Amino acid sequence: MNILIISPDAPPHKGGISRLVSLLKQGLERSGHHVSIFCPELKVRELKFSTIPFHGYSDQYDLIHLHGPTPLLSDLTLITNSKSRIVYTHHAEVSWVSEKVSAAYRSFHKFLAKRARMVIVHSRDYSRLFSGSNVVMVRLPSPIEPPKKKIEFDQKSDSFTVLYVGQFRPFKGIDMLLKAAVVLKEVRFVLTGEGYLKPKFMNMAKELKNVSFVDATNDDELKQLYRMSHVICLPSVNTTEAYGLVLLEGALYGCVPLASDLIGVTENVFLLKGLTFEKKSLESLTKNIEKLAHDKDLWTNVALQSHKAAYNYAVTYTPELYVKRHEEIFKKVCESD
């Protein structure tokens, strides 16, 4: 098959969607398919600008794999390429401007998604958002490999450490994590990632001795951060966060997953036997961290359970299976004409 992937992000960007797109491209090409990736090159904060959706691709590709929702990019592609075979992956229930505007947009976007031959989601929570027989759930794989030997929990830092891994964007709730650091002065907070808000958050934290920003430029450096941390925290404030792959990665290497109680994310945390807290609640976040930091037996029990659950998940839902499931879906769509 000759496949076009249209995505809001792609390598060398290091976000979750970008890593999944790269994994798919490599896996599909190993199976003999030709894969091209188009993504917007002009990005201004949360906005992405491109002429990609104004082109017709039905004569050039057997199938378009569209990732979204990204306002304008995914919407216009569904409109202008209505004659093409489109498989659409719905990653999140985006939230911006205001909840009223966001709800209206999400409703409109789901209407447009009906133009796709198949809609892929990554959790049962998200499958319930769509009606019809053209929705299929494909479990996400871990972007990093599971440890080859038993995790040694004595490798953890002497100071109880909460780790944040991800983009520095408004919906990630990083400001709330920094506020927790003000309250929990005996807890160490480590943040790694990139994004246009990083300088702002670094400036906010410059007087906080228990907060550090570190660079993890490859998977080995990221694994080492997971190994030395006690908690992997995802304090996102709205449903633009839909799953949280870093929770799976952290649990694989001995971190307790702790995340906001958002749709999709909660399902992921349940699978990993981690903990959730009330979204946007500083009190709920700090109480959970404090409880884990002050009760070693509790932290050890949750960390062991989460590690086992994450390992079993990762060896079941492998990157190879993820690619294979997509290949099966793509073939079914192409053969349905």
- Distance, C-alpha 114 to centroid of its chain: 24
**Cα separation, 165 vs 217, whole angstroms:** 12
pLDDT of residue 47: 67
Residues 6+ apart with CB under 8 A from 285: 176, 177, 180, 233, 235, 277
pLDDT of residue 300: 94
pLDDT of residue 170: 93
**Cα separation, 115 vs 119, whole angstroms:** 10
What is the average pLDDT value for the chain, to the nearest integer? 93
pLDDT of residue 46: 66
pLDDT of residue 133: 76
| Beta partners for residue 90, in sequence order | 68
Can you count the helices (H) and strands (E) in the chain? 12, 14
**Cα separation, 238 vs 208, whole angstroms:** 26
**Cα separation, 307 vs 314, whole angstroms:** 10
Mean pLDDT calculated for residue range 289-296: 96
Quickly state the pLDDT bin for 49 (edges 50, 70, 90): confident
Q: Specify the DSSP class assigned to residue 140.
A: P
Mean pLDDT calculated for residue range 49-55: 82
pLDDT of residue 217: 82
**Cα separation, 177 vs 51, whole angstroms:** 37
Cα three-residue angle 323-78-332, rounded to 5 degrees: 40
Query: What is the identity of the amino acid at 327?
Result: E
Mean pLDDT calculated for residue range 103-107: 93
pLDDT of residue 113: 93
- Is residue 235 reached through a cis peptide bond, with omega within 30 degrees of 0 on the bond before it? no
**Cα separation, 264 vs 17, whole angstroms:** 15
Rg (CA), the chain: 20
Coil, strand or helix: which one is 72?
coil
Lay out the sheet containing 135-137: strands in order across: 34-38, 2-6, 63-68, 86-90, 118-121, 135-137
pLDDT, tens digit (0-9, with 9 covering 90-100), for 54-78: 888 878 899 999 999 988 889 999 9
pLDDT of residue 98: 85
Which fold does the domain 153-316 belong to in CATH? Rossmann fold (3.40.50)
| Residues 335 and 285: beta-carbon distance below 8 Å | no
Q: Which two tokens stand for residue 95?
A: 């939230």
- Which of 35-44, 258-267, 281-290 is predicted with the least confidence, judged by mean pLDDT? 35-44
Is residue 97 over pLDDT 80? no
Would you list the domain boundaries of the chain? 2-141+317-335, 153-316
What percentage of the chain carries pLDDT values higher than 90? 79
Mean pLDDT calculated for residue range 245-254: 96
pLDDT, tens digit (0-9, with 9 covering 90-100), for 175-210: 999 999 999 999 999 999 999 999 999 999 999 999
Is residue 51 over pLDDT 90? no
Query: What is the identity of the amino acid at 163?
Result: L
H, E, C per residue of 211-235? EEECCCCCHHHHHHHHHHCCEEEEC
**Cα separation, 9 vs 26, whole angstroms:** 16
Domains 2-141+317-335 and 153-316 share a fold: yes
Region 2-141+317-335: CATH code? 3.40.50.2000
Q: Specify the DSSP class assigned to residue 149.
A: S
